[in-house]
Amino acid sequence: MNPPEATFARIIEALRSHDRFTIMSHMRPDGDALGTIIALGLALRQLGKDVTLWNEDGVSEKFHYLPGWELVSKPPAEPVDLDVAIALDTASQLRLGTALTAVKSAKLWINIDHHVSNEGFGDLAYVDSGAPATGQIIFELITAAGFPLTREIAENLFAAISTDTGSFQYPNTTARTYEIGAALIRAGVRVGDLSQKMYESYPLRRVHLLCELLNVLKITCGGQVASFALTQAMVEKVGAQPEDNEGLIDTIRAIDGVVVAAFFEELAGEGKVRISLRSKDPRVDVCKICQQFRGGGHTLAAGARYRGTIEEVEALVLAAISHEITNRN
């Protein structure tokens, strides 16, 4: 197996030597998923490359503050002719959804990610689980390659890193992360304006949704677990959109004494429940818990989609969390 630095060099060479690219990220994309594909796409377009950006769910209104968001489209139903398919911030190839059909003709697959649960798919896979965000890896890639770093690219990378580090607060934020943040500011990021768009521009319906969730808040395991569950009835009551629940788990994660926060979302028409877990203690590995439910992620932040009713899945996951807390070293 090639050392990581060799893989990084081979990826840069592939980006230089090919002409037609498709860059993709996981379904239900967050700021890191969208910010990275847009940033790399803009950088390659600056070099005259033919680049398309895809996500199965497109770009919700919440992320319209990202420069170049309109370049991201939903994948076509039929395969397209291209040289290189690039997956960013995606631990499992299946999480690319319908994009997999459209990239069947790709001569080369590149996988760049920071999830410890990444399957290592692709011809060139660079997975740095020590990086707090895929945005940090893409910054290193762009600068190592000598690609342009415009203000638009910098803003996408800053948003990617900020949203995946809890605004530079999570434990995996390093000195290097702050150094990159400073470099992006020097490249033109207007921190106040961008942060306001990221964290202080939510629709009122999101507050109504939070009220509904707090009404069903559960505190279990002696105050160490906080959880709430979102049903379709609640969604319909407040007219919520899928992006409205992003980050609401942090409200209960912040409760003093809580070690693990859990959010359960009933997925309409799928017969499945979306699971999101956050831990404040690395001894309680929520990635390990989510892998029991066919998911993955990081030690302190992970997720899954599991078949069953919301009541069934909630009970199973809370039992698994309680077991991990009780048996932590």
Task: Please state the rounded mean pLDDT for residues 31-48.
Answer: 97
Average model confidence (pLDDT) across the chain: 95
Q: Residues 41-78: pLDDT tens digits?
A: 999 999 999 999 999 999 999 999 999 999 999 999 99
Give me the pLDDT at residue 270, please.
85
d(CA 297, CA 285): 10
- Domain check: are 66 and 123 in the same one? yes
> pLDDT: is 6 or 161 the higher one?
161
- Domain check: are 109 and 128 in the same one? yes
- Domain check: are 181 and 224 in the same one? no
Task: Please state the rounded mean pLDDT for residues 297-325.
Answer: 96
Give me the pLDDT at residue 2, please.
59
Q: Which domain holds residue 80?
A: 4-199
The rounded percent of the chain whose pLDDT value lies above 70 is: 99
Give the domain-ending residue among 171, 199, 227: 199
Angstrom distances, CA of residue 315 to CA of 146, 301, 318: 51, 19, 5
- Domain check: are 242 and 303 in the same one? yes
Q: Tell me phi and psi for residue 290, to 5 degrees.
A: -65, -30
- Domain check: are 87 and 52 in the same one? yes
User: Amino acid identity of 43?
Assistant: A
Residue 261 in contact with residue 226, Cβ under 8 Å? yes
d(CA 106, CA 144): 25
Give the domain-ending residue among 147, 173, 199: 199
Q: Residues 97-111: pLDDT tens digits?
A: 999 999 988 999 999
- Domain check: are 155 and 14 in the same one? yes
- Domain check: are 177 and 213 in the same one? no
> Can you tell me which residue has the tokens 């028409």?
269
Task: Please state the rounded mean pLDDT for residues 272-289.
Answer: 96
- CATH number, domain of 319, equals 3.10.310.30
Give me the pLDDT at residue 1, please.
45
Split into its structural domains, the chain has a count of: 2
Q: Is the pLDDT of residue 3 over 80?
A: no
Q: Residues 123-154: pLDDT tens digits?
A: 999 999 999 999 999 999 999 999 999 999 99
Under 8 Å CB-to-CB from 285, ≥6 apart: which residues?
279, 299, 324
- Domain check: are 61 and 166 in the same one? yes
Under 8 Å CB-to-CB from 177, ≥6 apart: which residues?
132, 133, 136, 161, 165, 168
- Domain check: are 233 and 289 in the same one? yes
- Domain check: are 226 and 246 in the same one? yes
Residues in the chain: 329
In this structure, the number of other CB atoms found within 10 A of the CB of residue 214 comes to 12
Give the domain-ending residue among 165, 199, 233: 199
- Domain check: are 163 and 33 in the same one? yes
Task: Please state the rounded mean pLDDT for residues 287-298.
Answer: 94
- CATH number, domain of 29, equals 3.90.1640.10
Task: Please state the rounded mean pLDDT for residues 28-43.
Answer: 97
- Domain check: are 195 and 229 in the same one? no
The rounded percent of the chain whose pLDDT value lies above 90 is: 91
